[in-house]
Amino acid sequence: MEGIYGRKDHTYGNYLAQLASPTFTGVPVVRHPAATSNLYPNPAIELVSLEFNVDEEQLFSFVIYDAQGRVVDKLLDKFCTAGKNVIQFNVAPLLQGTYFVKATGDKGENIAAHTFVRR
């Protein structure tokens, strides 16, 4: 481990230390499914795919909102397994404009809202 500090003479100095613990087993990895979701193609004319990862199996509700935050369409409720999932939906019936798709799980997990443009 290294640390840097400022000295009175406007230079810097370093602290070096070696850490040890007989009970240290590692740092737990925190997964953020929202950070790994992806929506494509964007802009879209017809079919759109949303790829995402979830921590545990659960039922998700997928909803499309318009730019004013109004619900445009409840796409589907889908049981998603832990790990990578993909859904496709048709945006052809939507008017041209900017929309958001958001998914909420029944166990509290959310998939980040994605903005897409319907051309």
Look at residue 1 and tell me whether its pLDDT is greater than 70: no
> Which tens digit of pLDDT belongs to each residue from 2-46?
677 677 777 767 766 666 655 555 555 444 444 478 999 999 999
Q: Is there a domain that residue 101 lies in?
A: yes
What mean pLDDT is predicted for residues 48-58?
A: 92
The reported pLDDT for the residue numbered 80 is 93
Q: Is there a domain that residue 20 lies in?
A: no
Q: Is there a domain that residue 94 lies in?
A: yes
| Residues of the chain by 3-state class (helix, strand, coil), percent to 5 | 5, 55, 40
The reported pLDDT for the residue numbered 74 is 95
* Cα–Cα distance, 59 to 108 (Å, whole number): 10
Domain with 100 in it: 36-118
Look at residue 59 and tell me whether its pLDDT is greater than 90: yes
Contact by Cβ (8 Å): 44, 91: yes
Q: Is there a domain that residue 12 lies in?
A: no
CATH (domain of 50): 2.60.40.2550
Q: Is there a domain that residue 24 lies in?
A: no
Q: Is there a domain that residue 10 lies in?
A: no
pTM score, whole prediction: 0.67
Q: Is there a domain that residue 43 lies in?
A: yes
Number of structural domains (the chain) is 1
More confident residue, 106 or 35: 106
The reported pLDDT for the residue numbered 20 is 64
% of the chain surpassing 90 pLDDT: 60
Q: Is there a domain that residue 99 lies in?
A: yes
Look at residue 68 and tell me whether its pLDDT is greater than 60: yes
Single out the residue of 19, 32, 95, 86 nearest to residue 64, CA to CA. 95
